């Protein structure tokens, strides 16, 4: 009996990349129903086609090249800056490249329709929705694999290569550890309850007849106005005064060697000659027996600044009290008459570590993958309707609109509301609003800046993107695609 021919090493190695596919084959065959088997067969075929056409390999090479370029960026010259730049550019460029890949992969459907290959498939007992869903699954699976490879590369390059470069100084080393390669939760301060003051003020005004002359007087609206007035007044800190910012649920590690950060942005009514604010911050609560830490500050006006405090300034009940004093603590330097104010909920916030960079990266990549899944569904939807060039064009437009929606909205907000510009603004606003019902705002699901800034990409946010972009966005797009596809005459002559 002749022995089977010996398999060569190269042939064995060639099997390695297909091993995961074979594993899925085995699982689907063993445990999947008929629908799943059909779906997987189409998905597998789509992946195999992408590999065969060298499209996946081409994009993999592009990914590696952009990855290399991102790792060469200098940032602001600090190691922490380099890591931040690298993470920003590598994850963003991976998202863009894979989006382009998703759109290109949808061409297989257009091609099959145009070249009649689909007729063979349609003669088989394969429902059209399974065919479409299989195509989509193939595209998103390929995206997922490439994104996972990118994620691993980002993680290893950031933590094992860039982070091991010699830091510029201790400050740089600390920033890298506590503000970049971490996942920090940001919590705004708890606004004081102004209900009593509002009621007192309202009662006094009522008594003095302030509201008598006002037609259509609405007490609730007036109380809201008073609350906003008191809120604004509280956020204003004149020279020589101080404010206590209270934070709740500061669920951090309170050990001595841990740190929390206070991030703030102060505006001033009048700029000092050198545009520097001189103030003092004190963290801790004596009544709760926490450590007390103080720091004098020189800060540029109107920018966000971050200061670190020991974590044991947080009370055991996870509250934190921070005192801000608008008095120049630096002897020999003049005290300027600056009324300072902290605007909005992010005016002052506490940052504390809640996770790791790795976990953060995974959640961020999940959000990127959600966008790709939406885009793949949209690309297939257009492919069921149009020939490849038109479908491709429509998909790119959708991607651009989704990516730039926030920019367009912001730009419109900065335009004048009167005259010809105002008219143009109104018209475009209506169009953008209408667009909002069709195209999602990708900027709302952009985790890259938070990831680079060491801020926590929350699981809830990631799940939100799963629901909105995948379950609703991609779901609707696929549903429409199925409707179109079912109504389409596939044997129709198309040119």
Which residues contact another protein by CB under 8 A? Answer: 73-78, 80-82, 84-85, 88, 168-172, 265, 274-276, 281, 283, 291-298, 300, 302-310, 313, 330-333, 407, 410, 449, 452-453
Q: Give the shortest CB-288-to-another protein separation in angstroms.
A: 16
Q: Give the shortest CB-331-to-another protein separation in angstroms.
A: 5
Q: Using an 8 Å Cβ cutoff, are 39 and 130 in contact?
A: yes
Q: Which CB sits closer to another protein, 4 or 77? A: 77
Q: Which CB sits closer to another protein, 7 or 303? A: 303
In Å, what is the CA distance from 360 to each residue of 180, 227, 253? Answer: 11, 38, 18
Angle at 440 between CA 144 and CA 392, to 5 degrees: 65
Q: Give the shortest CB-424-to-another protein separation in angstroms.
A: 17
Q: Which CB sits closer to another protein, 54 or 346? A: 346
- Rounded to 5 degrees, what are φ and ψ at 190? -85, 120
Q: Give the shortest CB-489-to-another protein separation in angstroms.
A: 39
Structure tokens at 422: 């105002």
Q: Give the shortest CB-169-to-another protein separation in angstroms.
A: 5
Q: 357, 393, 341, 342: which is closest to 158 by C-alpha? A: 357
Residue 458 buriedness (CB in 10 A; 0-12 / 13-18 / 19+)? middle
Three-state DSSP class for residue 438 = helix
Q: 353, 352, 260, 263: which is closest to 308 by C-alpha? A: 260
Long-range contacts of 224-230 (CB under 8 A, 24+ apart): 226/194, 226/198, 226/201, 226/202, 227/194, 227/195, 227/198, 230/194, 230/197, 230/198, 230/201
Instruction: Return d(Cα 178, Cα 257) in angstroms, integer.
Output: 11
Q: Which CB sits closer to another protein, 110 or 187? A: 187
Give 352's DSSP letter. Answer: E
Give 447's DSSP letter. Answer: -
Q: Which CB sits closer to another protein, 167 or 192? A: 167
Q: Give the shortest CB-118-to-another protein separation in angstroms.
A: 37
Instruction: Return d(Cα 275, Cα 477) in angstroms, integer.
Output: 52
Q: Give the shortest CB-426-to-another protein separation in angstroms.
A: 22
Q: Which CB sits closer to another protein, 160 or 414? A: 414
Instruction: Return d(Cα 347, Cα 34) in angstroms, integer.
Output: 57
Helix (H) or strand (E) holding 371: helix 357-385
Q: Which CB sits closer to another protein, 15 or 69? A: 69
Helix (H) or strand (E) holding 235: helix 219-235
Q: Give the shortest CB-458-to-another protein separation in angstroms.
A: 19
Q: Give the shortest CB-297-to-another protein separation in angstroms.
A: 6
Q: Give the shortest CB-172-to-another protein separation in angstroms.
A: 8
Q: Which CB sits closer to another protein, 80 or 102? A: 80
Q: Which residues pair with 222 in a beta bridge?
A: none
- Rounded to 5 degrees, what are φ and ψ at 185? -95, 140
Q: Which CB sits closer to another protein, 230 or 408? A: 408
Q: Which CB sits closer to another protein, 62 or 276? A: 276
Instruction: Return d(Cα 309, Cα 46) in angstroms, integer.
Output: 54
């Amino acid at each position: 009996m002749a022995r089977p021919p010996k398999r060569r090493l190269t042939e064995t190695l060639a099997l390695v990349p297909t091993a995961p596919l074979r594993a899925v084959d085995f699982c689907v065959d063993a445990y999947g129903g008929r629908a799943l088997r059909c779906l997987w067969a189409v998905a597998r075929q789509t992946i195999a086609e992408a590999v065969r056409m060298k499209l996946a390999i081409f994009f993999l090479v592009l990914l590696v090249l952009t990855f290399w370029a991102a790792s060469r960026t200098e940032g602001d010259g600090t190691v922490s800056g380099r890591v931040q730049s690298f993470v920003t550019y590598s994850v963003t460029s991976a998202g863009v490249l894979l989006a382009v890949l998703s759109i290109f992969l949808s061409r297989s459907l257009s091609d099959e329709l145009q070249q009649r290959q689909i007729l063979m498939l349609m003669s088989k007992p394969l429902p059209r929705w399974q065919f479409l869903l299989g195509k989509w699954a193939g595209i998103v699976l390929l995206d997922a694999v490439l994104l996972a490879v990118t994620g691993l590369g980002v993680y290893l390059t950031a933590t094992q290569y860039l982070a091991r470069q010699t830091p510029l100084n201790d400050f740089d080393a600390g920033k890298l550890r506590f503000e970049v390669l971490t996942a920090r939760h940001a919590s705004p301060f708890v606004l004081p309850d102004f209900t009593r003051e509002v009621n007192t003020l309202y009662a006094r005004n009522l008594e003095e007849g302030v509201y008598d002359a006002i037609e259509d007087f609405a007490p609730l609206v007036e109380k809201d106005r008073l609350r906003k007035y008191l809120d604004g007044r509280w956020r204003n800190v004149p020279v020589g005064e101080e404010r206590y910012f209270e934070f709740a649920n500061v669920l951090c590690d309170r050990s001595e060697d841990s740190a929390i950060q206070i991030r703030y942005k102060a505006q001033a009514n009048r700029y000092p000659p050198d545009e520097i604010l001189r103030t003092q911050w004190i963290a801790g609560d004596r009544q709760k027996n926490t450590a007390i830490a103080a720091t004098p500050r020189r800060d540029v006006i109107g920018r966000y600044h971050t200061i670190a405090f020991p974590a044991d300034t947080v009370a055991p009940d996870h509250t934190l009290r921070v005192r801000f004093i608008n008095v120049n603590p630096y002897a020999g330097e003049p005290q300027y008459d600056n009324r300072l104010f902290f605007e909005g909920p992010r005016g002052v916030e506490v940052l504390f570590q809640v996770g790791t960079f790795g976990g953060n990266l995974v959640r961020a990549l999940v959000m990127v993958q959600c966008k790709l899944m939406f885009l793949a569904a949209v690309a297939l939807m257009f492919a069921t309707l149009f020939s490849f060039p038109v479908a491709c064009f429509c998909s790119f437009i959708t991607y651009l609109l989704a990516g730039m929606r926030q920019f367009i909205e912001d730009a419109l907000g900065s335009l004048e509301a009167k005259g010809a510009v105002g008219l143009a603004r109104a018209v475009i606003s209506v169009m953008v609003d209408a667009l909002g019902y069709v195209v999602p705002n990708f900027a709302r699901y952009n985790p890259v800046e938070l990831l680079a800034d060491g801020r926590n990409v929350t699981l809830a946010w990631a799940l939100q993107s799963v629901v909105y972009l995948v379950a609703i966005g991609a779901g609707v797009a696929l549903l429409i695609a199925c409707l179109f596809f079912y109504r389409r005459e596939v044997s129709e002559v198309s040119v």
